């Protein structure tokens, strides 16, 4: 039986996805109260055709987050901002957006996010970009994605490739519970 390049890529992605889930699951001690999360996928066709929202959700769940929902919005700045703001008002602990962070004219997720943030977290932004480049995810390295705090919610933008999501989530899940713990203290 012969395998096509597509079959090899799919198999490689599946193995890498499983490894990323295992890594993110080991980055947080089990048994704590489960934090809430929401995933926002930015896609002009209003479909999560690549399954990136599902992948983010799985990685969050394995890092002890309860994923309230995955929402798909177009690359419109107002639509993105409304989805992020709804998550913040809804009281989720972390909201991850996927897509809309590149250099194309329709890539406006950072602009939509910036207006909501009370505080930027440049360390997370830099860590996501540098780890993405190190893993060969060029779109992660070129991402203009932001990370920060809005009210009591950690907000992070990721690039929209499987490699960028896998690598970005490994970085984020390692830090998210710590950030959430810090911002929830009075």
Q: What percent of the chain has a predicted confidence (pLDDT) above 70? A: 82
Number of structural domains, the chain? 1
Q: What pLDDT is stored for residue 57 in this prediction?
A: 97
Range of the domain at 152: 5-184
Is residue 186 pLDDT above 90, yes or no? no
Q: What pLDDT is stored for residue 13 in this prediction?
A: 57
For 90-152, where are the E strands, in sequence order?
A: 94-98, 119-120, 147-150
Q: What is the CATH number of the domain that holds 85?
A: 3.40.980.10
The answer to which of 12-16, 87-91, 123-127 has the lowest mean pLDDT is 12-16
Higher-pLDDT residue of 28 and 59 is 59
pTM of this prediction?
0.82
The answer to which of 59-73, 93-107, 128-142, 154-168 has the lowest mean pLDDT is 128-142
Tell how strand 65-73 and strand 153-158 pair up.
unpaired
Sign of CA dihedral 93, 159, 85, 17: negative
CA atoms within 13 A on the CB side of 163: 17
């Amino acid at each position: 039986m012969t395998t096509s390049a597509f079959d090899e890529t799919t198999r490689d992605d599946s193995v890498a996805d499983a490894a990323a889930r295992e890594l993110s699951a080991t980055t947080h001690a089990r048994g704590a109260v489960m934090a809430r999360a929401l995933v926002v996928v930015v896609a002009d066709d209003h479909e999560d055709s690549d399954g990136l929202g599902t992948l983010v959700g799985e990685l969050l769940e394995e890092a002890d987050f309860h994923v309230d929902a995955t929402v798909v919005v177009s690359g419109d700045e107002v639509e993105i901002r409304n989805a992020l703001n709804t998550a913040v008002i809804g009281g989720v602990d972390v909201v991850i957006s996927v897509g809309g962070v590149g250099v194309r004219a329709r890539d406006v997720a950072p602009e939509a996010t910036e207006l909501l943030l009370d505080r930027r977290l440049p360390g997370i932004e830099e860590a996501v970009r540098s780890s993405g480049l190190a893993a060969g995810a060029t779109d992660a390295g070129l991402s203009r994605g932001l990370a920060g705090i809005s009210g009591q919610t950690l907000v992070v933008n990721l690039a929209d490739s499987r490699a960028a999501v896998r690598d970005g989530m490994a970085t984020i899940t390692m830090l998210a519970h710590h950030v959430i713990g810090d911002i929830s203290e009075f």
